[in-house]
Amino acid sequence: MKLLLTSGGVTNPSIHAALEQLLGKPVAESRALVIPTAQWGHPMCGPASVRGLVAADPDFRHFSGLGWASLGVLELTALPTIGQERWVPWVREADVLLVDGGDATYLCHWMRESGLADLLPSLPDTVWVGVSAGSMVMTPRIGEYFVEWPSAPDDRTLSVVDFSIFPHLNAFPTNTMADAERWAAGLGVPAYVIDEQTAIQVVDGSVEVISEGQWTKLG
């Protein structure tokens, strides 16, 4: 897949331009599926925040509210019960998957259980836009610092990319650069620390940082 891994979504013109380049057409002509699943695994999320994401409320103007040609919902927890013959065509028809934040280990679990993780290699033209956990799930590890799901066996995720991500730099009191450095020390892999104005684009193994804000690479 073509990956656009963000902390806070498509928050500035540089990230927006990168998104449309990956899509090969304007956002207004692109079909999106939004995946809220990670929210259910995080104690700060719930029915109201999921509703806001799906309804493209103003808080989600940089993500589900970008003005897509169509916007559907793909809830991964439902997929194992309905059969791949139903949901795989929905995914293949989409231009972009919008994968929201929450808990990345919970999202990882349901990506595997649903079969979506196995499907990803067959979607070379589909764009994956992640926010927070929706980006972190593509990494090898998220660090215990970010595990909120009580049933998570450990902090490992999908390893689609070979680096980890520390999102929301300076957006919260517990997301300072000092916090990021302590987090990265025990990972054993390179890591990007990114703020809300930064994205990491990965296409065919080539990594490019797109930013109008602050970021750094550790390790």
Mean pLDDT of 75-88: 97
Mean pLDDT, rounded, for 154-177: 97
- Strands 198-203 and 2-6: what pairing? antiparallel
Q: What is the mean pLDDT of the chain?
A: 97
Residue 39 has pLDDT above 90, yes or no: yes
Q: How does pLDDT run across 17-29, given as a tens digit for each residue?
A: 999 999 999 999 9
For 170, counting Cβ atoms within 10 Å of its Cβ (0-12 exposed, 13-18 middle, 19+ buried), the class is middle
Could you tell me the two tokens for 157?
């995720």
Per-residue pLDDT, 91: 98
Supply the pTM of this predicted model.
Answer: 0.97
HSE (CB half, 13 Å, CA atoms) of 115?
Answer: 13
Per-residue confidence band for 186, with pLDDT thresholds at 50, 70 and 90: confident
Cβ count within 10 A of residue 199? 32
How far is the CA of 37 from the CAs of 40, 72, 103, 109, in angstroms?
6, 14, 9, 10
Q: What is the DSSP letter of 156?
A: B
Q: Enter the DSSP assignment of 141.
A: B
Residue 184, pLDDT > 90, answer yes
